[in-house]
Structure 1
Amino acid sequence: MHEFTSDSTTHRIDRAFLWGPALMITPVLEEGARSVFVYFPEATWFDFYTGGEIPPSWQKKYVEVPAPLDVIPLFIRGGHILPTQFPGRTTMLSRLNPFGLIIALNEQGEAFGSLFWDDGNSIDSIRKKEYFYVQYKFRDRMLKTTVIKNGYYGISSLACGTIQILGLTSKPNVITMNGKTIQSSRIQHNSNRKVTLWISEPMSQELTISLN
């Protein structure tokens, strides 16, 4: 209801929630259920697991979606870039894993996001300027990362491993990163208009990725 204030239907929903502005979580709350009814506010939405776009005809409607035992239905709102990190057995181990980016495009083919990262324990990292902050912008088929603050020593050991782009209108012929062509063996296309790039670049390095 805080993101879609003009849609009165969202004001009464208590069986789904947004984590930030872009990730919609729709948990199973009934024993034995294998599906859930999901309300999709007016926006571009993608299935978190497949990258497939939710049909526009589902907007502003309740739709029954599958919810097998091993799946929590998750949906990503177009226009946003989500940093991800593969989980480990503990928080400490998780924080050592490579990052990824999920770029979910809106109707204009754009998406924006950011990442704030510090040691995870200090309460005064901003005052001491001991943090890492990067902004992400995708526009005109180009991803641009801009490091705003690089004050956390631990970022030097972290890398970006994958980039997923959801909702492309056409398949790129050539993809370059900082002016160099990415080998086709490091690129995967699927039938849902999702492109996955496997890279290994320091998180602190600014990137420009172009899809031509």
Structure 2
Amino acid sequence: AIEKEPNDLTYYNNRCAVWIEMGVENYDKVLETCRDLVSRRYEINSANPGGASFEKVAKVFCRMASIHEKRRDYAEAVEMYQKALTEDNGRHARTALRDCERAKEKFEKESYVDVAKAEAHREKGNESFKEKDWASAKAEYDEAIKRSPKDAKLYSNRAAALTKLLAYPDALRDLEECLKLDPAFVKAYSRKGAAHFFMKEYH
């Protein structure tokens, strides 16, 4: 098909799809081909009007984005989807961009998890708490939770700091999260009772 009509992006894009299916070793070749197509778009279009239409160029950008996504290079993938949307505001690219942004956020959160660093921040938070520097304690617990979001005791610690800062509704939210992660966390129940008491909810 390419030999018959060398000035149509569709055929090159389809060949790139086949290369992707053939395996990871072809990814660089796909990116190289796609970049070359984008750089020659006007030349291709003048030789064959519509051969490099906005819609076809958008599909080439989406093809590059899919490679970057597979490599977990989400920032580059997002950029390629955005370029695709600049060419043609199609539903496929919009949906793909939204999914990619979600995957990027999830990947970044998971990459950020580090239990040892979480523990170091928790200890710093405890020191600040002992020194009655509630705001600094809360900031350390915030960071600890980002580093280890499934650790129940961190939410209980932050709730204690929030209670001292008179942020009772936030403290209750943290205690509920703590008990969701560990229903047997006894200290959370007493802290929850105290927060309700301070909020004048005597029940």
TM-score range, shorter-chain basis?
under 0.3
Q: Which structure's residues are more often strand, by fraction?
A: 1
Structure of greater relative contact order (alpha carbons < 8 Å, 6+ residues apart) = 1
Q: Which structure's residues are more often helix, by fraction?
A: 2
Instruction: Report which of the two structures shows the higher radius of gyration computed on alpha carbons.
Output: 2
